[in-house]
Amino acid sequence: MHALARWLFRLAGLVGLGYVALLVWVWRVSREDQRQPADAIVVLGAAQYNGRPSPVLRARLNHAIRLYREGMAPVIVVTGGVAPGDVISEAAAGHRYLLAKAIPDSAVVIRPEGRTTDASMAAVGRWARQRDLGTILLVSDAFHMGRLRLEARRYRLQAYTSPAPASPIAPGSGLEWTYLALEAFKVPVAWLRRWW
């Protein structure tokens, strides 16, 4: 019994060390802004309220607008499906917001498929391959950047990440460590899905 207890203790220690290593990696990647010219800026969806973007989604959209106006890409792709009880998708709410901020309709692409990061990235991957695009610039919250990079590789996208600095979940906010801790659990799943 003592041998089994020692083995379980060592296993728990290895799992704990692995989790800490993932948490450090997620934190490190969250601090990197890879902004550079790309074929498209892709905004990951977040909650919206009857067509009004939540503060998190608004921060992502505002950051995409800045990147677009800096000439980082000729189009902004908005993603995100319809949540239970909603009548409009996150992507459609993002589209409306961008138009209200004087982004030309011709410069906005709507990808309303899916309610998860994986489903959104799959939709973006299909769209990018159909147009033979080379690079995309992903916009989301800082805590999300590491998993986004893994999901982009899964769909054979050459992606760079640029976190939204004004998000309520921005680095240094009270919520940040909760989200970083959750992401450290999600990253291994995203990595494993690359082989499915």
The neighbour count for residue 129, using CB atoms within 10 Å, is 12
Whether the per-residue pLDDT at 194 is higher than 90: the answer is: no
Whether the per-residue pLDDT at 151 is higher than 80: the answer is: yes
Q: Identify the CATH homologous superfamily for domain 29-193.
A: HUPs (3.40.50.620)
How are beta strands 52-53 and 48-49 bridged, if at all? Answer: antiparallel
Domains of the chain, residue spans = 29-193
Confidence bin at 172 (pLDDT 50/70/90): confident
Confidence bin at 185 (pLDDT 50/70/90): confident
pTM (two decimals): 0.90
User: According to the model, what pLDDT value does residue 196 have?
Assistant: 56
Whether the per-residue pLDDT at 193 is higher than 80: the answer is: no
Average model confidence (pLDDT) across the chain: 91
Least confident of 42-46, 163-167, 168-172, 178-182: 168-172
Rounded-to-integer distance, Cα 140 and Cα 164, Å: 6
Report the candidate in 147, 157, 159 with the shortest Cα–Cα distance to residue 192. 147
User: According to the model, what pLDDT value does residue 128 have?
Assistant: 95
User: According to the model, what pLDDT value does residue 12 have?
Assistant: 77
Average pLDDT of the residues in 128-155: 94
